[in-house]
Amino acid sequence: MLGRKAVSTSRGLIFCCSQSAGKLSLRQLCRMSFRPVAAVCQVNSTPDKEVNFAACVRLVEKAKEGGANMVFLPEGFDYIGSSQKETLQLSENLTGDTISRYSDLARKLNIWLSLGGFHERGDDWEHDRRIYNTHLIINGMGHIVSVYRKCHLFDVELPEKKVSLKESAFTIPGQSLSPPVQTPIGKVGLGICYDLRFPELSVALLRQGAEILTYPSAFTVATGTAHWEVLLRARAVETQCFVLAAAQVGCHHAKRASYGHALAVDPWGEVLGDCGGTEVGLTLVEIDMDKLRDIRRNMPVLQHRREEKFYYSLD
């Protein structure tokens, strides 16, 4: 199996390839060369939207150079504000400058983008100054092909960990899931960050044909240290899907820092790529659909699930 990883250096990103022991046949090499590649990115957003955009462009360009078919950026890729007031002031509509520029970038590079956690102004912005936390998929022609608005809002108080966030104070919860969307790397089901803690969401996307689940995130250091990897691997194992989780890392401003460890997990729960907990960067992973199909055939978990009402029979 051919694996790729990204190593951060002072000169940028160097992509390293590793190959397991033994010689691969020409047929194996040719077959692997046609596997689609996903780039899972790790970003350090600040309140400066221009600086953030430039950093994300560099990552997308590096991903394209590395052979990626689709690039995954994390929650808050556009910015992370230092206050509720600033967060609201910097927000935009889907037709605003930020998404237009990412559409142009996708078109220019002919690459698909997962933009997870965009600060989208609410439908009644003039009267109700609240936003959606929105995940968009943009295709290689620059068109928005899927929109999901975060349904589960992060309202958590952990005094002993110095964590206090109330997303619902300024964010409108989404009212529905979005169907998985067919992309060059497979059928992708959309979530955002805190959605990761709700297996009902991942199973609902699986039932609609998802092969890849994605959770662009900005996990706190406390919750990330405790739960990040185990939750991602659990979602992969129980759904037999690839799980791709772009992440924020490091200090964004004086009041907030993120855990990092942007992760890619295969349907058996194996971690294929981990960006670590300190540096901006990305990991390139091949999406092996033959492995997914083999796992689902040998252990047909979805077929073994009972009808939905069975699981609510105790109610």
- Residues with active-site annotation: 75, 150, 193
CB 211 within 8 A of CB 242: yes
**Using the 8-state DSSP alphabet, how is residue 290 labeled?**
H
Tell me what percent of the chain is helix, strand and coil, each rounded to the nearest 5: 30, 30, 35
Cα dihedral sign for 73, 58, 92, 186? Answer: negative
CB 193 within 8 A of CB 219: yes
Rg of the Cα trace of the chain? 19
Write the DSSP string, 5-46. EEEEETTEEEEEEEE-SSPPPHHHHHHHHTS-EEEEEEE---
**Using the 8-state DSSP alphabet, how is residue 70 labeled?**
E
Q: Please name which of 83, 89, 77 lies closest in space to residue 117, comparing C-alpha atoms.
A: 77
One-letter amino acid at 162 equals K
H or E, element range at 254: none
- Structure tokens that stand for 183 in this block: 């992309």
At 236 the three-state DSSP class reads helix
Q: Which residues pair with 85 in a beta bridge?
A: none
How far apart are alpha carbons 83 and 184 in whole angstroms?
Answer: 38
